[in-house]
Homo-oligomer: A and B are copies of this chain.
Amino acid sequence: MHTIAIAGAGTVGAALIQSVLASVPIRLKAVLVRDAGKPRPGLPTGLDYVTDPAAILADPEIDTVVELMGGTGAAFELASGALAAGKHLVTANKNLLAERGPELFALARDKGRSIGFEAAVCAGMPVIRALQEALRADRVSAIEGILNGTTNYILTRMAEDNLDYAAALAQAQRLGFAEPDPANDVSGVDAACKLGILAALAFHRRVEWRAIPAQGIQDLQAEDLRQAARMGYRVKLLARAALDQNGRLDSTVGPALIPVGHPLAAVRDEFNALMVASDGFGRNLFMGKGAGPAPTAASLLADILDIAQGRGWPVGADHPFLAGPAPAGAGAAPCRLYLRLAVPDRPGVLAAVAGRFAEAGVSIASVLQPETAGGGGPVLVPLILTTHAAATEAAARLRETLAEPGRPAPVVLPIVDD
């Protein structure tokens, strides 16, 4: 019987152990933990806990190691050790793949072993296998999606309950949808890591997440989501990667306005979604939970079963993580923009702002200065504008030229219209 060891017995590990023991012809030989004596009331008795990774790496009976330790230090030692010892690797560790992926895949290639990582990206929807299998002979031209459940939950609450960012974040934290330190999620870094992995599989090139420009949602206000709704849009943290006509890759992560009828606009709360555009299939959408113990365990188990049944993915020399980096394109196609500025409530301000747009070469399509309660004085009021289609550089110029010392940075969001 296919024999596995699981490294890590947190919530995901516990869920996986339960399902392995409950239902499938897999033998669980060892569980690697820090403290073998710690009581684990959520887990069945009789498990063989070990604290030394070497006990797993040296055991010839163990076919596959499931890495659930997190981080890129001890997890890398274990994962690389397992591959070097000729074992298969299954992991839910996105950061490990983003930071040390090429080394691990090179090891797997040298040893002819599989790495299963469906659970590492958008755990609750089978996008990795879709890209590796169903779409592998198709030519993908673009992928775009909502890859971070934390920010999608916050944006949904801001839009539907009219909460401000801080209140929505606090609610997400209370419910376990956001970490105590949410920086990695709200800054767009987590989505960029995932986009890098998905883009590599979609475009058969290595994609370095650090090279993906990422903008977060921290500067958004409930006002932005209200205005977007009035215009017929939802604001979503959108991750996009597309090939241009010369086969160069443009990737970005950032909040964007999406028309309410667009399938991605219907993705609410902690859900993730990915849309894949390709020559053969046309447009394919996947939507599911991005994380959580049960979805992650379900994806891990599917990977384990594939390997156990001889249907794994032995890493070949042509694996995307071993390929050269994708050449960078010149930036996304021109698109309309939504802007919110904080301006002083006094004569001449609109003329000055309009002048900056003219300098940046961007044409204004609409202006709205909502009535505010303020009664005179040097108070800042919101000024909301939309533009006609503007190139990426023009948008960057605008962002710069509209910034004023002592005022909040302008919020500049692309409007997606397809």
**A residues bordering B, Cβ < 8 Å?**
19, 23-24, 118, 124-126, 129-130, 133-138, 261-263, 265-268, 271, 273, 278-289, 292, 294-295, 297-299, 301-302, 305-306, 310-311
Contact = CB atoms under 8 A, between A and B. Distances in A.
Nearest to A311: B311
A124 B285 CA distance: 10
A288 B298 contact: no
User: Copy number in this complex?
Assistant: 2
A267 B263 contact: yes
8 interchain residue pairs of minimum CB distance:
A280-B298, A126-B134, A285-B287, A284-B288, A266-B266, A263-B266, A282-B289, A134-B302
Contacts of A292: 282
A260 to B, nearest CB: 8
A137 B302 contact: yes
A201 B287 CA distance: 20
A294 B279 contact: yes
A135 B302 contact: yes
The residue in A19, A135, A278, A286 that gathers the most chain B C-beta atoms within 10 A of its C-beta is A286
Contacts of A288: 281-285
16 contacts: A126-B284, A129-B134, A134-B302, A135-B298, A135-B302, A138-B298, A138-B301, A263-B266, A273-B285, A278-B298, A280-B297, A282-B288, A282-B295, A285-B285, A285-B286, A310-B310
Contacts of A294: 279-282
Nearest to A137: B301
Contact of A266 (B129, B262, B271, B279): B262
A374 to B, nearest CB: 35
A282 B124 contact: yes
A130 to B, nearest CB: 5
A347 to B, nearest CB: 43
A132 to B, nearest CB: 10
Nearest to A262: B266
Contacts of A118: 134
Q: Is the interface of A mostly helix, strand, loop or mixed?
A: mixed
B289 A287 contact: no
The residue in A125, A280, A282 that gathers the most chain B C-beta atoms within 10 A of its C-beta is A280
A263 B268 CA distance: 9
A130 B126 contact: yes
A283 B279 contact: no
Contacts of A299: 134, 281
A321 B297 CA distance: 28
A137 B24 contact: yes
Given A23-B137, A24-B137, A280-B301, 20 more contacts: A124-B284, A125-B281, A125-B284, A126-B133, A129-B129, A129-B133, A130-B130, A133-B302, A134-B302, A135-B302, A137-B298, A271-B283, A278-B298, A279-B298, A280-B295, A281-B298, A282-B289, A282-B292, A284-B287, A311-B311
The residue in A19, A268, A288 that gathers the most chain B C-beta atoms within 10 A of its C-beta is A288
